[in-house]
Structure 1
Amino acid sequence: MQKPPPSLRAVRKELAERKLAQFIRLAWPVIEPGQPYVHGWHIDAVCEHLEAITYGHISRLLINVPPGTMKSLAAGVFWPAWEWGPKNRPSTRYVAASHSQKLAIRDNLRTRRLVASDWYQELWGDRVALTKDQNVKEKFENEATGIREAVAAGSITGARGDRVIIDDPLSVEDAGSEKVRDGVNEWFLEAVPTRLNNPDRSAIVVIMQRLHERDVSGIILAKELGYEHLMLPMEFEPERRCVTSIGFKDIRTDDGELLFPARFPRHVVDRDKKVMGSYAVAGQFQQRPAPREGGMFKKGWFEVVGAAPANTRWVRHWDLAASAAKQGSNPAYTAGVKLGRAPDGTFYVGHVARVQAEGPDVRRLIKNTAGQDGEEVEVSLPQDPGQAGKVQARDLVAMLAGFRAHAEPETGDKVTRAEPFAAQAEAGNVKLIRGDWNDAYLEELSVFPAGAHKDQVDASSGAFGRLMSKRPYGMLNVV
């Protein structure tokens, strides 16, 4: 006699027990009944790494992802419920920490609501039943002795678990406080490892956005503590493609490709970047923070003034976008920084022209800017290696007939080229002429070289180098 086909309920139950990501899809209406579930491939990536802990392949996991990408729900709410019921591990104990007790309790309540729901109990109630004598918002227990407890980062005394889940141990507001950072880092290094039930098998998961180069993630990476590192920036950077030991590789290919376009489309990301500023974007979106006071450059080094003295010698150097944008992504920036040296040796950044465009638009900007600057401002251009670079340089100089235009190859990397200019800035010898470009210019300098864009820094370095050069302008030296 032929067996009847499995019911839809049985199929869904089997899928939920097989994959954490599928469990999240099915359990979503219990936690967020008013919001439709929106899936992204990064959720699969997060789930696969949490599953690797479940199956004992790894025991230390660091996940750096932007805010709003479902990190707290995936790691702190759905994963514990999945291990208890669908994976039939109801005795597993969890300690979940966040930068505030309020947020830690929020996710404790979400997990309890999910486990106690009719949907969950109908499928896995035979495995997971909550006790009545230990069932409060800070800590609840099931009849198999499984526990989920919520604590604030910095306060874990007495708590112990098979899984310690640390979700955003620093707030955005506290990230700038050295005292708070040092306190959280000390707690993480000295207290957290001692709160594991089985030091050889129990797991620690840190899931957070980057807020400072010496946040908990920075300490994990700097001290090489053996954490598997899943790092997914909002905008893809090919040179930082994430690859992990479980066989994962960031699936994106195009520079600037978005992480979660279904929820954070391009116009939303661009809007938020303008509000957040370069420093916050570098950390929270791109997961590579630089110190707010600056790396090679500090904002406080630059005095903003109304005008430069008479007889200042001016050079405008252009940093040209390296390559054409791929389909669906934004072009790189081209920037021209006008830098002057006054008779007393002080340098003045007089203006920045910048465009995110290609081809004719870039040529038009360079020519129009030269016209606005006037013949007294020298025009300096980079010459890329190879015959194509020579042809481009010769073409641009020809376009600038009537102006003192020059192109020459650049040597050294961007950091090396920036060092002489940075030394003058640190000495207080570089001032800015007041303009609407000041904030964007200082933001880029303050996160260099960690920032996504380096065009204004490179243009400044080129202008400085040309001002310090003893070679006169003449015909273009290309072969």
Structure 2
Amino acid sequence: MNALNSDDRKRLAEAAMRENLYAFLAGSFGILCPGERLARAPYLEAMCYALQRVASGECQRLMISIAPRHLKSICGSVLLPAFELGRDPTKKVVVVSYGKDLAREHAEQFRRLVTSPFYQRLFPKMKVDPKHNRFEHMKTTKGGGRKSVSLGGGITGFGANLIIIDDLGKPSEMRHDTYRQELRDFFDQTLFSRLNDKRTDRIVSIQQRLHPDDFSAYLLEKDTFDHLCLPSIAEIPEEIPLYNNRVLTRRPGDLLNPEREPQEVLDRIKADIGNFAFQAQYQQNPTDGENEFLSMSDLHLVETLPDESVFVRRVQSWDTAAKDSPRSDFTVGLTFGWHAYEERWYLLDVFRARTNYTQVRNAVLRLRKQWRADRVLIESSAMGIHLLDELKRTAAGVYMPVNVVTSKLDRFIPQTDWIKSGKLVIPTDKPWFDEFRRELLAFPDALKDDQVDALTQFAEYMRRSQGTYLDTDPYTGRRQGNYRPERPRREDRMRF
């Protein structure tokens, strides 16, 4: 086979750039950032792949959480609109950021790219209309275009096929409740309504985390966004999709961008900005990361659960919310299994949702049947009281009320020794693991604590009654004489 000449290689490269956003980034970088070298870090491919799924329509809602200065604005606010309009100049794109200066900077980069000879060779059908070539709104000759908007800016009358939200919140203002509510209102009352077709049009949010209740947290609560979370230092094992069915494998401790931000640089950044800001902006975990009671090293983790047959008893613990409004607490149900040979508990499943009474009742019945639980603990308050009254009639001795008489923190602290002792094992490959871990380690400063409440309820019950429970035959209710209750240490008894 004859070797390709330079013209053939150039044509193949340009063909790839028309179809592959990561290749398009490599080709465009010199225009967007003259004099700089593009470090081909794997996370950039992961970010481009996620954004390309939006461009192709495979993903309608995407959130990317990543530290500052990682080309997120170049990829999201500049390249993605150029890629979208190059492939279809009739599309309308809105790019939103918190300030006019930032919006103008991105618009200037976009115009420099799409008017370059390089871009015009790739996408000859995409032409900027010379009559509408303003930074804040550039139109194509086919009727599409890119409109820049800052927080609170005018957008009335402009529809969009793609909305890109790039760092909507100003870091210095994020601690104020009124400011965070302003962001939520802007999205709900102004921005979302600009989508031309709510069935097919798309939204991308690219943010660094700034606060436990920031704009990203609000969007994640909607449970409609795919989330690509890229902490600077990996905390959990993870496989992130790349092009051609490949994955980026991250293990705890792996650095996101070791060439530009090696460990010593990250350590210096953390010392300069403090732990809270580092956990938020660089780790995408806007809490102190670990509370004074538990750290990541205290948790006993396994990658996957063992075979179900080793779990001879199963218990569920429910913390029910009082209502199901969009900003209310979650109803949480945790399922635990007793490992017959290791003689310790495994967390098997987490149910977490905002639900009304009927949905909670159905979930309790369904999950009890699914996991064959023979003991179901339900907090005896609010919705739980009515739930217990109804469910007790369906299965005698299964549904147990749990009375709460002390504060959340007072109940949690005595259980930390039980968790540290290895009596609870948590699998890391479950979709609920990351959120569970974050909430547990951030308590009592996490935005939500319903999972911790359900865990505390279970741990407290088992510390008091595990021996009796395991010694009781679940079918006959008779004691078998195989287990003797562990007598709590004197200092533990004093805590209850």
Q: 1:201 to 1:208 in 2, by over 3 A?
A: same
Q: Which amino acid aligns with 1:36?
A: R
1:173 matched to 2:172? The reply is: yes
- 2:105 aligned residue: 106
Aligned partner of residue 280 in structure 2, secondary structure:
helix
Aligned partner of residue 229 in structure 1, secondary structure:
strand
Q: CA deviation at 1:9?
A: 2.3
* Bigger relative contact order (CA 8 A; separation at least 6): 1
Q: 1:154 to 1:447 in 2, by over 3 A?
A: farther
Distance 1:96 1:318 in 2: 41
Q: CA deviation at 1:123?
A: 3.5
Aligned partner of residue 251 in structure 1, secondary structure:
strand
Q: 1:168-200: CA deviations, max 9, x gaps?
A: 110110111111110011111222221012221
Q: Which amino acid aligns with 1:282?
A: Q
Aligned partner of residue 133 in structure 1, secondary structure:
strand
- 2:146 aligned residue: 148
| Percent identity for Structure 1 against Structure 2 | 28
1:419 matched to 2:417? The reply is: no
Q: CA deviation at 1:8?
A: 3.0
CA contact (8 A) 1:163 1:202 kept: yes
Distance 2:67 2:444 in 1: 20
CA contact (8 A) 1:162 1:196 kept: yes
Distance 1:23 1:177 in 2: 39
- 1:284 aligned residue: 281
Q: CA deviation at 1:420?
A: 3.9
Q: Which amino acid aligns with 1:178?
A: D
1:135 matched to 2:133? The reply is: yes
Distance 1:320 1:131 in 2: 55
Q: CA deviation at 1:120?
A: 1.6
- 1:263 aligned residue: 260
Structure 1 residue ranges without an equivalent (≥5):
298-316, 324-385, 387-415, 425-444, 452-464, 472-479
- 1:335 aligned residue: none
Q: CA deviation at 1:14?
A: 1.0
Aligned-residue CA RMSD in angstroms? 3.8
Q: CA deviation at 1:72?
A: 0.4
CA contact (8 A) 2:46 2:241 kept: no
Q: 1:449 to 1:277 in 2, by over 3 A?
A: farther
Q: CA deviation at 1:245?
A: 12
CA contact (8 A) 1:114 1:120 kept: yes
- 2:117 aligned residue: 118
Aligned partner of residue 7 in structure 1, secondary structure:
helix
Mapping of residues 360-375 of structure 1, within 5 Å? none
CA contact (8 A) 1:42 1:259 kept: yes
Q: CA deviation at 1:246?
A: 10
Distance 1:80 1:238 in 2: 32
CA contact (8 A) 2:95 2:149 kept: yes
Aligned partner of residue 283 in structure 1, secondary structure:
helix
1:47 matched to 2:48? The reply is: yes
Aligned partner of residue 189 in structure 2, secondary structure:
helix
CA contact (8 A) 1:295 1:449 kept: no
Aligned partner of residue 228 in structure 2, secondary structure:
strand
Q: CA deviation at 1:3?
A: 12
Q: CA deviation at 1:7?
A: 2.4
Distance 1:41 1:246 in 2: 11
Q: 1:61 to 1:73 in 2, by over 3 A?
A: same
Q: 1:127-161: CA deviations, max 9, x gaps?
A: 12211111111111111112111101233333321
- 1:74 aligned residue: 75
Distance 2:3 2:245 in 1: 39
Distance 1:91 1:101 in 2: 26
Q: Which amino acid aligns with 1:216?
A: F
Q: 1:319 to 1:266 in 2, by over 3 A?
A: closer
Mapping of residues 77-476 of structure 1, within 5 Å? 77-85=78-86, 88-124=87-123, 126-155=124-153, 156-224=155-223, 226-238=224-236, 241=238, 251-290=248-287, 419-420=409-410
Q: CA deviation at 1:447?
A: 5.4
Distance 1:189 1:106 in 2: 26
Distance 1:142 1:295 in 2: 50
Q: CA deviation at 1:253?
A: 3.9
Q: CA deviation at 1:118?
A: 2.2
Distance 1:258 1:449 in 2: 28
Q: Which amino acid aligns with 1:100?
A: G
Aligned partner of residue 238 in structure 1, secondary structure:
coil
Q: 1:213-271: CA deviations, max 9, x gaps?
A: 221211122232x11111111110116x4768999897344322111112211111110
Structure 2 residue ranges without an equivalent (≥5):
300-341, 343-405, 415-439, 447-487
Q: 1:58 to 1:35 in 2, by over 3 A?
A: same
Q: CA deviation at 1:39?
A: 1.6
CA contact (8 A) 2:159 2:195 kept: yes
Q: Which amino acid aligns with 1:153?
A: L
Q: 1:235 to 1:248 in 2, by over 3 A?
A: farther
Q: TM-score, normalised by structure 2?
A: 0.58
Q: 1:345-403: CA deviations, max 9, x gaps?
A: xxxxxxxxxxxxxxxxxxxxxxxxxxxxxxxxxxxxxxxxx9xxxxxxxxxxxxxxxxx
- 1:431 aligned residue: none
Give the greater-gyration-radius structure (CA): 1
Q: CA deviation at 1:49?
A: 1.3
Q: CA deviation at 1:82?
A: 1.7
Distance 2:291 2:152 in 1: 32
Alignment coverage as a number of residue pairs: 322
Q: 1:110 to 1:423 in 2, by over 3 A?
A: same
